[in-house]
Each structure stands twice: as structure tokens, then as C-alpha cells.
Structure 1
Amino acid sequence: MLWSVVIPVKTTQSGKSRLELPGAERPQLALAIALDTIAAAASAETVGEVLVVTSDADVQAGVEQIVGATSIPDPGMGLNGAARAGLERASLDARAAMLGDLPALRGSDLDAALRAAEGEERALVSDTEGSGSVLITWRTPATFEPRFGAASAEQHVEAGHTLLRDEVPTLRRDVDTAEQMRAAYQLGLGPRTTALLAAARARTAA
């Protein structure tokens, strides 16, 4: 089974507002995290297409360089509205929406989650803390009601999504704070985020 994966991405000026790292400019950091997430998703064997919903020109330009990923305009209805717009535009029956702030994501972890989701009409993967959602899936076309945000895992379960419990640490580690970035670093960051943080360390050491 191949999946359409939708990734809504905020503008780099507004994204990662709580993520402050010495020597790193937040918009560039948000861009690196998003593009590493998108590239990892596109590399997964179970993913047939990646649709990135965004109004950010830098994200759109980066997506053009990633094979298997396409950007579509953000309709301006918030994170869940963007996810819904992408899900409705997807071309494959099996559809998933995923957060764009998973800088340690490996395609193999996304593959494991999507293969587990094949056995459920609706499913979700929670974040490391267990309260948020990083991936929500529908095996067949449906009325899409993504509920990303605070306590979204519980809301998705209430909406009929089965909580998947596979060990997929790089998928579950979303990043909003410096502490979470340190945890993602231990898992192994994507190349863009790694390069940006290395440059930031060099600037602060100079």
C-alpha cells in the first residue's frame, strides 16, 4: 500500500516561536527542520507522494528540490485547515497528515508506522510525550478532521483513530523547544538541521 502524506508548514517567520538556540536564526532553523522532515518522508518506501501545504516561498523553493514532494498553497485556515486542504487534494486512497517539525525523522520509522496503519481504518502516532499527535491516517477516503494541537492525541482517539504503539522514536520526536532539539540531536538530525546547528556553534565559539 502506498500513501499520500500531507505536511502542513507554517511560514518560517511564524514557525518555531518557542525554539531559541544560540547563534541560530529562527526562520532559517524552521526552514531546515521542515525540509529535513519533508525529505525524510519522501524517502520512505510506503510513501507515494508528499504534499506540502504552505504559503512560505522559501519552503516552496526547497520542496522543488526534493524528489517526490510537491507544494500546494495554504488556504489560510490554520494548521488543521492546511492539513485538510492537502488531504482533500491527495491522489491516493490511503492518506496521512504529518507534522513538519520532525528533524530526526527516518524514512524507516515512517514506513513502520504506515505499515501498522494499514490494518486500521483510522490511526495515529502520538508525540514522545504522549499528548500530541505527529501522524494521523485514513486508510480510505473519508471526511478528514485533523485535530493537531494541544491534547490532540486524546481528541483523535475520540474521533475513532487507533493509537499505534510501534517503536518509531524519530517519528515521535517533534521539536518546539531547545530541550526537545537536544533529544532529537541524540536520535540523529537530518542534514540541513545538522549543518545549520554546526554553523551556529561555530559562530558562538568565535
Structure 2
Amino acid sequence: MWSVVVPVKHSLWAKSRLKNAGDARPFLARAFALDTLESAAACELVREVIVVSDDEILISLLPLGIRVVSDPGAGLNAAIGRGIAASTSPARAALLGDLPALDPIDLCDALRAASAVERAVVADAEETGSTLVTAAPGVRWASAFGAGSLAAHRALGCVELALPRDSSLRRDVDTFDQLDTATSLGLGPRSSLLLDRRGVSREQPPALPLREPSP
């Protein structure tokens, strides 16, 4: 059983490459994170989900059972480290919080494969970044998320897991093209409802103020 740490940047500053979404951008960022967290919690191999964030609105909308750790404000890897330090399971994983199409089965498949190695990494669809990093019981935690993180994680000794290219675990969303692909896989309920209600697109931001979808 795994502890899964999900770092989530405050939505006011998240997803800057979706700036054409206008005022919808922070709502999208939170919806992506909430769908990711809910899917992670639904994976049968996950004992606990820990979100590292200082986004008060996000925290108020979290599904029951998800633990909250405050973000130390020193970057993504420091946030993950804070969450890892609070984890209770000897098998630990860090998962990005922008996987709105995440299927719990895909996460379970990856964690099951990761249990066979000391460290593992899942590449994003572009095969330059990482969406999941793991460490087996007794293995010191290390992560190197950021630009070119796949190569950096390999340098740390992570074994790249051979997941299908269309695995939902590889479909993080930073751009509208990536959002289109994630949408084709099937978005989580919050992200889907938000997009359906307001028609967010790269060409035209929503004309009306948004509200958070109900839990």
C-alpha cells in the first residue's frame, strides 16, 4: 500500500500557459487538482493521499480522507519533500496534480509495476517530463521535478515504467492541446462540468464569472 503525495500550487499562480482562459484559469487549475486527487484516492493500492498546498479554496473542497500539509513555499520538490515526510506508508509516490483524466486503474497499474524496483518514474506524453515518481520501502526519497525532469529522474536511478502512450497517467495538462487530448480520454467530473458550463476555449475566455462546481 502506498502513500501518494500531490503538490498543488495555489490556483492564483497555476497553469500560466492557459492564460487565454482568462478568469477561468484558476478554476481550471483547482478542478484539475481535485479530479486528480479523487482519482488517486480511488486507487485500491493507495493507503493515503496527501495534498501539499496553501490554496484555501482547494482545501475546502477536498474529498473526505485526503490529508493536507502546508506548502513550505520553496518550490515543487520542497513541497513534495514536506508531504513525503508526513507520509505513513513505507512505499511512497509523488504525483502531479494536473491529471484531470486520470483513471485510478492506470495509477494502480503503475504502482504495481513500481513495487518491483527501488525507484520508478512515469514519463509524460512528450517524454521529457515526469508525472509520477516512486520510492520503495527503505529507499531514501529523492525527486527532481521541473524542466527536463525525466532525464533528471533517470539520473537519480529511477526506472522508467513502460506504460502505454495513451495511459491517462501520462496526460498532464499545461496547454490547450494537452487539454484537448485529456478531454478525449474523459475528464474527471469537476473539470468536465466546468468546461461544459462555461465553454472555456483557447480562442475565447468565458464571458461570465465562474463558480466552483459543487462537490
Query: Do both share a fold (TM > 0.5)?
Result: yes
Aligned counterpart for 1:98 among listed residues 71, 95, 109: 95
Aligned to 1:73: 70
1:24·1:196 contact (CA, 8 Å) conserved in 2?
no
Aligned to 1:188: 186
Aligned to 1:200: 198
Aligned to 1:18: 17
Q: Identify the range of structure 1 (53-62 vs 161-170) with the bigger mean alpha-carbon deviation.
A: 161-170
What does 1:1-206 align with in structure 2 at a 5 Å threshold?
2-20=1-19, 22=21, 25-63=24-62, 66-167=63-164, 169-201=167-199
Where structure 2 has 5 or more consecutive residues not aligned to the other structure, the ranges are 209-215
Cα distance in 2 for residues equivalent to 1:175 and 1:107: 17
Where structure 1 has 5 or more consecutive residues not aligned to the other structure, the ranges are none
TM-score between both structures, scaled by the size of structure 1: 0.93
1:155 to 1:45, Cα distance in 2 relative to 1, 3 A: same
TM-score between both structures, scaled by the size of structure 2: 0.90
Deviations 1:116-158 (A, max 9, x none): 0010010010101111010000011433221111110111011
2:23·2:206 contact (CA, 8 Å) conserved in 1?
no
Match of 1:50, SS state, is strand
% identity of equivalent residues: 45
Cα distance in 1 for residues equivalent to 2:22 and 2:155: 42
